[in-house]
């Protein structure tokens, strides 16, 4: 229970179904590691700075809901593990010129890793969350599907879950739309009914990413070049940008530039205009393949699939042409804009999520 409306209604629904529900809250990021917030260099963020750091408020909201439902409530401190398994990985990836997705790793290692282990210690049969996704269980295995509300579908963030994790998982609101979730919360007098959705980095909160990284990664000035290696300007560090980014380049001109490549070795940003082919690719290579299905992704080589390379992207037609030495070669029916190394590609057969890989 995160203190938001989704996980609160998930607990409510399970209780209504007759389950014995226990609430659990994770503290993965605390005020103590957000002391820099009052000195944020970005005045538009106000006194609270670059991170809300609201875990105490979120925990209080979760406790109030648990009290309203009359259920047991536990708090777990995973800050050390979060820093080791998610935070440090995120920084290392940015330094290397890649764009990580910490939310995907949060689910694999924190919610359905450490948290699930604590739930088992309490004797729980399942871990339930407020994700907008659907799961089915049978003797032949567990299957993960996109949420019914296409605008809120969060199956992409669950793309690294394995069968060993999925078989102990429930998503009570996966068949509901967000508006219905809020109506249920209001109907049952849950004070979080109108609470805004959380945004930003998983468990850290809403942040200005360049400020957040700037406090942790030393700036290294370098050149901004075009695809012909002509110098157009300077930047303060390639690690503060991502593929497809437009803002912050300060190059001027009528037609905006977009980042098409980050060269960590030479500390260069390569940019191009919107119509430049360098911003689009029809294929990619993915490594560290993970299966969500009971089986192997390699069983789908040569078959027509769907995929997304970032959260909220519409599913794209693609084909896995081969998997060799742990590398999946993927071809898309249409060129994809701003493919970012370090991000995850998630494969689907219809609405079912098959597995994922890290874009190389």
pLDDT in tens, 174-222: 999 999 999 999 999 999 999 998 765 665 555 667 777 878 888 889 9
Query: In sequence order, what are the beta bridge partners of 144?
Result: 135
Of the residues 34, 53, 124, 202, which is catalytic? 202
Full set of structural domains in the chain with CATH: 5-130+172-209 (3.40.50.620), 218-275 (2.30.30.280), 281-359 (2.40.30.10)
Of the residues 34, 53, 106, 318, which is catalytic? 106
Question: Is residue 356 very low, low, confident or very high in pLDDT (cuts 50, 70, 90)?
Answer: very high
CA dist., res. 148 & res. 173, Å (int)? 9
Residue 50 confidence (pLDDT) above 60: no
| pLDDT at residue 51, rounded to an integer | 45
| pLDDT at residue 304, rounded to an integer | 98
Residue 350 confidence (pLDDT) above 50: yes
| pLDDT at residue 31, rounded to an integer | 55
CA dist., res. 30 & res. 138, Å (int)? 39
Q: Can 106 be counted among the known catalytic residues?
A: yes
The chain-wide mean pLDDT, for the chain, equals 90
Q: Can 202 be counted among the known catalytic residues?
A: yes
Q: CA quadruple 145, 111, 347, 156: dihedral positive or negative?
A: positive
| pLDDT digits 0-9 by tens, 69-125 | 999 999 999 999 999 999 999 999 999 989 999 999 999 999 999 999 999 999 999
Residue 63 confidence (pLDDT) above 60: yes
Q: Does residue 192 contact residue 61 with C-beta atoms inside 8 Å?
A: yes
Question: Is residue 344 very low, low, confident or very high in pLDDT (cuts 50, 70, 90)?
Answer: very high
56 φψ region: left (φ > 0), alpha (ψ -120 to 50), beta (else)? alpha
Question: Is residue 45 very low, low, confident or very high in pLDDT (cuts 50, 70, 90)?
Answer: very low
The average pLDDT across 36-65 equals: 60
Q: Which residue do the tokens 């957000």 mark?
A: 34
| pLDDT at residue 305, rounded to an integer | 98
């Amino acid at each position: 229970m995160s203190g938001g409306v989704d996980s609160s209604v998930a607990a409510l629904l399970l209780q209504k179904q007759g389950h014995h529900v226990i609430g659990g809250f994770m503290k993965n990021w605390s005020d103590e590691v957000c002391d820099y917030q009052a000195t944020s260099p970005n005045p538009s963020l106000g006194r609270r700075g670059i991170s809300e750091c609201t875990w105490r408020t979120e925990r209080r909201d979760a406790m109030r809901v648990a009290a309203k439902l009359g259920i047991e409530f536990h708090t777990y401190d995973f800050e050390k593990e979060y820093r080791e398994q998610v935070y440090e990985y995120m920084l290392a990836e940015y330094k290397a010129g890649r764009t990580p997705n910490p939310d995907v790793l949060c689910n694999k290692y924190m919610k359905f890793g450490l948290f699930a282990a604590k739930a088992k210690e309490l004797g729980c049969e399942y871990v339930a969350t407020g994700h907008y996704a659907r799961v089915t269980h049978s003797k032949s295995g567990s299957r993960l599907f996109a949420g019914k509300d296409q605008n809120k579908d969060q199956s992409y963030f669950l793309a690294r879950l394995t069968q060993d994790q999925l078989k102990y998982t429930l998503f009570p609101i996966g068949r509901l739309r967000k508006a219905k979730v809020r109506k249920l919360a209001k109907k049952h007098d849950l004070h979080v009914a109108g609470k805004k959705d959380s945004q930003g980095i998983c468990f850290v909160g809403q942040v200005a990413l360049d400020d957040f990284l700037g406090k942790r990664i030393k700036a290294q000035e370098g050149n901004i070049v075009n695809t012909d290696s002509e110098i157009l300007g300077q930047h303060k560090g390639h690690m503060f940008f991502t593929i497809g980014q437009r803002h912050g380049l300060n190059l001027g001109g009528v037609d905006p530039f977009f980042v098409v490549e980050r060269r960590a070795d030479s500390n260069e940003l390569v940019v191009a205009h919107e119509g430049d082919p360098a911003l689009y690719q029809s294929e990619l290579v993915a490594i560290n393949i993970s299966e969500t299905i009971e089986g192997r992704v390699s069983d789908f080589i040569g078959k027509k699939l769907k995929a997304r390379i970032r959260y909220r992207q519409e599913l794209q037609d693609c084909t896995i042409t081969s998997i060799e030495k742990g590398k999946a070669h993927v071809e898309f029916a249409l060129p994809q804009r701003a493919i970012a190394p370090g991000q995850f590609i998630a494969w689907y057969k219809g609405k079912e999520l098959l597995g994922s890989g890290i874009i190389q």
